[in-house]
Amino acid sequence: MRELFHQSLEEVQDRLVQISELVTVAIEKATRAFGTSDVALAEEVIESDSVIDHRATALDELAIEILARQQPVARDLRIVVAALRVSASLERMGDIAEHIAQLTRMRFPERAIPKGLKSTFTKMGDLDVEVARTLTELLRTGELTLVETLRTLDDRIDDLHLSVFEKVLGENWQGEAGATVDATLASRYHERFADHALSVAKKMAYLATGDWKPDTDTIAVIAAEQGAENIAAGGAPQV
């Protein structure tokens, strides 16, 4: 029974990674469609969101079944509860990718990116894709150094998000009302995507430390311990 229980926990982790991979594909396509006004690509993102939703729901059902049948305690309980919360964040990240794609479709054949902001949104899109890829690797390996990587990426996106608002509120902004709304919405979507990823990263840090708000030094110590275990075992330790 114990072996079956741990197989179920491994399946939870595998499914989280699979959902994160789907989210990565969605944000890659959504940001590319947004930057190039590729409405066909945007439609792909919109249609595929139901797959992410279905996978997240199936994972939640598995986690609830584990809680009901196995009644886990201590760290095992934290893993299952955290998986439910991570699943919700990943599903929301998929929704945000869909929202970006919907902006592209709504403005087609015009460009959704207002004049003067193309380079900013290109950077935000590239960073969000990097966030998604880093998060997938964190979920796959549990390597805590990636938590700090995600913090740094989130800070960079926050700075770009602020620069968009400074641009559209500045005296030199000449965009029409629709362009202003598009810019603020798109910027918010990119910023929130990274926020949800960071929220997941914090939950992974909690699983490793038992602290919801571990400081940087604590994470660094555990990450170093993980590295030592990895060298000894020849593989990446799981959180």
- The pLDDT of residue 28 is 98
Residues 6+ apart with CB under 8 A from 180: 114, 168, 173
Percent of the chain with pLDDT strictly greater than 70: 87
pLDDT > 90 in the chain, percent: 64
Burial 76-97 (b: 16+ CB within 10 A, else e): eeebbebbbebbbbbbbbbbbb
**pLDDT value of position 171:** 82
Q: pLDDT tens for residues 78-125? A: 889 999 999 999 999 999 999 999 999 998 888 888 888 999 999 999
Query: Which two structure tokens, joined as six digits, stand for 169?
Result: 């509120």
DSSP string, 205-236: HHHHHS-SS--HHHHHHHHHHHHHHHHHHTSP
| Higher per-residue confidence, 174 vs 235 | 174
User: Is the per-residue pLDDT at 25 higher than 60?
Assistant: yes
Single-letter code of the amino acid located at 189: Y
